Structure 1
Amino acid sequence: MDITKKVVLIGKFGVGKTSLVQRFVHQKFSDEYLTTIGVKIDKKIVEINGKKLSMLIWDIAGESSHQKIPSSYKLGAQGIFYVFDLTRPSTFGDMSVELNELENILSGVPIKIVGNKKDLISPESFDALRKQLSPNILYCSAKTGENVEKAFYELGTEMLA
Structure 2
Amino acid sequence: MPALSKKVCLLGDFAVGKTSLVRRFVYNLFEDRYISTIGVKVSRKTVTIPDAAGPVELTMMLWDLAGSEEFNQIQASYLRGAAGAILVCDLTRPETVTSLTTYAGNLTSINENVSLVVAANKNDLVNQLRVAPDEVAAVAASLGAPFYLTSAKTGDEVEAVFRHLGRLLVKS
Residue by residue, what CA displacement relative to the aligned partner does 1:89-108 show, whole Å, maximum 9, x if unpaired? 12122333442333232211
1:103-122 matches, within 5 Å, as: 103-122=108-127
Deviations 1:23-64 (A, max 9, x none): 000000010111111110101010001111111101011123
Q: Which stretches in structure 1 are left out of the alignment for 5+ residues?
A: none
Residue 157 of structure 1 corresponds to: 167
Task: Tell me the C-alpha RMSD between the 2 structures.
Answer: 2.0
CA distance in 2, matches of 1:57, 1:94: 21
Cα distance in 2, alignment partners of residues 44 and 38 from structure 1? 20
Q: Is the CA contact 1:12–1:65 (under 8 Å) kept in the aligned structure 2?
A: no
In structure 2, C-alpha distance between the alignment counterparts of 1:56 and 1:103, rounded to whole Å: 18
Match of 2:30 in 1: 29
Residue 80 in structure 1 maps to residue 81 in structure 2: no
- Could you tell me how far apart the structure 2 residues matched to 1:120 and 1:85 are? 10
Partners of 1:32 and 1:81 lie apart in 2 by: 22
Structure 2 residue matching 1:37: 3-state secondary structure: coil
Q: Please point out which of 132, 157, 170 is paired with 1:147.
A: 157
Residue 93 of structure 1: aligned partner:
98
Measure the CA separation in 2 of the matches of 1:94 and 1:62.
11
Does the 8 Å contact 1:6/1:58 carry over to 2?
Answer: yes
The more displaced of 133-142 and 60-69 is: 60-69
Aligned amino acid, residue 130 of structure 1: P
Indicate conservation of the 8 Å contact 2:88/2:120, yes or no: yes
- Structure 2 gaps of 5+ residues are none
The aligned residue for residue 131 of structure 1 is 134
Between the two proteins, the alignment pairs up a number of residues equal to 159
Contact 1:11–1:66 under 8 Å retained in 2: no
Q: Structure 1 residues 9, 69: closer, same or farther in 2, change over 3 A?
A: farther
Letter of the 1:129 partner, please give it: A
User: What's the secondary structure of 1:121's corresponding residue?
Assistant: coil
